Structure 1
Amino acid sequence: MTDQENQASEKTQPVGEARYMRKIRSFVKREGRMTNRQQTAIDTLWATMGVDYQEKELDFTELFGRDAPVVLEIGFGMGKSLVEMAKNAPEKNFFGIEVHGPGVGACLADAGEAGLTNLRVINHDAVEVLEFMIPDESLATFQLYFPDPWHKARHHKRRIVQPEFIENMRPKLAIGGVIHMATDWENYAEHMLEVLKAASDFKNSCDSDYAPRPEWRPLTKFENRGNNLGHGVWDLLFERIS
């Protein structure tokens, strides 16, 4: 995030987010130090809220013990906004993917303290999880908030939002499902918009190019700081139509 970028020192250093389905890893795992709270959460809550990676499709109804709309988020960082969303929408199931172990531990700790039962997390490369574990047309919402902008022009090819990524993610969404992306880099917002507009199976859910921040997306501390400095944030909401 630029959110993620600001968290990079405590999170992980991506080496090729624009890797699409089996090319290169989207991240290299470089674990920070796990706090006692984070480790305790993993030790005590993984059995009920954690998901181990396997090259086998998940059954979300079985995983959550109920049939409900599934919201998937890639790169939830330390998990505070994901936990808040799950707490505020108990009628939905939330599935978070994150490669940073301490972030997973922090998310589980917060989720446990909140008494959540509608959140599951996996600590693995998102591209492999999407390819092997997420069934087609199983998601109501796909979320990608503040991915690394790779702001230097020569690094733009490393951005995760590319036509190939959208094409590989598309079948995982149900018809009528929504992609929700947000960034605080205007150039990346323009790139996201261009990629999504070019995807024939999607339409913009808003009358204008960008959406006001939906009430369900919590403000992060970095976004609040950016707002105070006059920085912009761009939300994009696109619906799968075919």
Structure 2
Amino acid sequence: MSEAQERAWSELARQYVVSVPRDVAATSILPDSAIDPVAVWGRAAPLVVEIGSGQGHAIVHAASSHPEVDFLAIEVFKAGLARTMLDADRAGARNLRLVEANAPEVLEHLLPAASVDELWVFFPDPWHKKKHTKRRLVTAGFADVAARALKDGGMLRLATDWEDYALQMRDVMDAAAAFERAYEGQWAPRFDGRVLTAFERKGARVGRDIRDLAYRRVNGALRPLED
């Protein structure tokens, strides 16, 4: 990390970073470590969670634009979280919290069941080489832990600039019994709550189509995860 990022971590982490019990790996979450959102944010409010927040451009913009909503950024790269804290502090986004952890473990072990109003997955790593596609985030297993975390009627919003990943996402989510499409046609319209980032502009500039998807958690669809 840069000197500024190191300073952000030492000076701002207490305000923004959720401290969690770890399992074996540095970015793991110990099972049965659920937080109390009211205690973490100091109030009861709608909760929006972004997976893979990167440097935080989208979630800092959203948090500063909607102070009535609570936001959680999930990211495994410490430098990105440091940049997010710097920008959040400048923007006065006191309704934002960050967690350095693997996203599926956050959904399964850290967030209480049915506690999330919206879950965002914007431009996840496409692992575009064929031998690496098994590492992609959006799988049937991910759909299960996302369903656990979301409230009845909660929204899962996805976006990618890799068409084959978009097709995979759509296949996975269409097959997930706990979700239903929240759009008509082949693709969802662009989510207007997603700020246009340099990353998205770059993808469009090199000719990649941006694909959005939106799914609603079916009421009463929550089922316990298998041990």
TM-score, length basis structure 1: 0.83
Equivalent residue, structure 1, for 2:27: none
Q: Deviations over 1:167-225 (max 9, x none)?
A: 12211100000111110001110000000000111111111231121111111102112
Q: Deviations over 1:124-147 (max 9, x none)?
A: 222322222110000001111111
After TM superposition, the structure 1 stretch with the greater mean CA deviation from structure 2, 197-206 or 119-128, is 119-128
Equivalent residue, structure 2, for 1:83: 60
Q: Deviations over 1:84-129 (max 9, x none)?
A: 1111121210001111111111000000111111100011222322
Q: Does 1:181 align with 2:148?
A: no
Q: Does 1:166 align with 2:143?
A: yes
Q: Distance in 2 between matches of 1:228 and 1:125?
A: 30
Equivalent residue, structure 1, for 2:118: 141
Q: Distance in 1 between matches of 2:133 and 2:204?
A: 25
Aligned length: 209
- Quick one: which amino acid aligns to residue 53 of structure 1? V
Q: Distance in 2 between matches of 1:195 and 1:86?
A: 29
RMSD between aligned residues: 1.2
- Quick one: which amino acid aligns to residue 221 of structure 1? A
Q: Find 1:69's aligned residue among 32, 42, 46.
A: 46
Contact in 1 for aligned 2:104/2:145 (Cα 8 Å)? no
Equivalent residue, structure 1, for 2:202: 225
Aligned identity (percent) is 38
Ranked by relative contact order (alpha carbons within 8 Å, sequence separation 6 or more), the top structure is: 1
Unaligned runs of 5+ in 1: 1-33
After TM superposition, the structure 1 stretch with the greater mean CA deviation from structure 2, 35-44 or 107-116, is 35-44
Q: Does 1:216 align with 2:183?
A: no
Q: Distance in 1 between matches of 2:12 and 2:149?
A: 27
Equivalent residue, structure 2, for 1:236: 213
State the 4+ residue runs in structure 1 displaced beyond 6 angstroms.
none
Q: Distance in 1 between matches of 2:193 and 2:104?
A: 25
Q: Does 1:194 align with 2:176?
A: no
Contact in 1 for aligned 2:108/2:149 (Cα 8 Å)? no
Displacement of 1:158 after TM fit?
1.6
Equivalent residue, structure 1, for 2:37: 60
Unaligned runs of 5+ in 2: 22-29, 222-227
Displacement of 1:40 after TM fit?
1.6
Q: Does 1:47 align with 2:24?
A: no
- Quick one: which amino acid aligns to residue 81 of structure 2? V
Contact in 1 for aligned 2:51/2:120 (Cα 8 Å)? yes
Displacement of 1:80 after TM fit?
1.4
Displacement of 1:154 after TM fit?
3.0
Q: Find 1:113's aligned residue among 80, 86, 90.
A: 90
Displacement of 1:230 after TM fit?
2.9
